[in-house]
Amino acid sequence: MRLDKKIALVTGGAAGIGKATVKRFAEAGAKVAFCDVNDEQGAALLNELGSENDFQQVNVTDRTAVQDWVDRVAKKYGCIDILINNAGILRDGLFVKVKNGELVKQMSEEAFDSVMAVNLKGVFNCTQAVAPYMITQQAGSIVNASSVVGLDGNFGQTNYVATKAGVVGMTKVWARELGSNNIRVNAVAPGMILTEMVQSMPKDALKAFEQKPPLKRLGTPEEVANLYLFLASDDASYISGQVIRIDGGMVIGT
């Protein structure tokens, strides 16, 4: 019960790594308030966990909705101990493609802006809403979802890489700014994780990805959730401003 009596917020908590995190935190004794844009999946998970936890449909790009959610959770439980900024989306595409001297394809402005809004501004919105509560109580742990591609870059992911690199930068700034209030801020950088979306890939593509890490397998959502749990818990009480890779030893491009 490493999170006994803790109040934890998790964004993007209805599926994938977020769902595994919500379940793991509840098992560890926390009361978990999670949000997602998928109301049906979120409600189903809450029904599975029990009414001592909380779910609300929230789009993290909407500052007003985020603030309303955070205020409601703080009022319901009396405090906020943990924030896991997990919500994120993909809109992959080539930055630019030229053939025979002619521009034939490029990443759209919509694809760039939508990923920026969720993956970067969403983290900004949620953390800015939660931080005053943690400052008041002089305690808290914030964990942000980055990615190995935010550290190494990756083909066809200009928008996604930019957001995940930005998350690393914000993590380090907030660790400095909030540390005097006993608030720790860290980031997790997963590699290829076997979420529902990844599982839907063609089997031959999955096998190829499995061979990239030295451990010769993909990670599981539960393994990432365990890292979130460690960083959120008092076991990590002197860890702040760090970016921890969880990628089976993978190096992009090898």
Nearest 10 degrees: CA dihedral of 74, 79, 84, 90? Answer: 10
83 close to 142: Cβ distance less than 8 angstroms: yes
Catalytic residue among 133, 160, 228, 238: 160
d(CA 112, CA 160): 8
d(CA 65, CA 58): 6
- Using alpha carbons, list the distances in angstroms from residue 27 to 2, 5, 155: 9, 12, 38
Residue bearing tokens 């189903």: 44
18 close to 244: Cβ distance less than 8 angstroms: no
For the record, the structure tokens of 206 come out as 């999955």
189 close to 247: Cβ distance less than 8 angstroms: yes
139 close to 182: Cβ distance less than 8 angstroms: yes
**160 classed as catalytic:** yes
For the chain, the distance separating the N- and C-terminal CA atoms, rounded to the nearest angstrom, is: 39
R_g over Cα of the chain: 18
d(CA 19, CA 27): 12
Q: DSSP letters of 5-26?
A: T-EEEEESTTSHHHHHHHHHHH
5 close to 81: Cβ distance less than 8 angstroms: no
Task: Catalogue the active-site residues.
Answer: 160
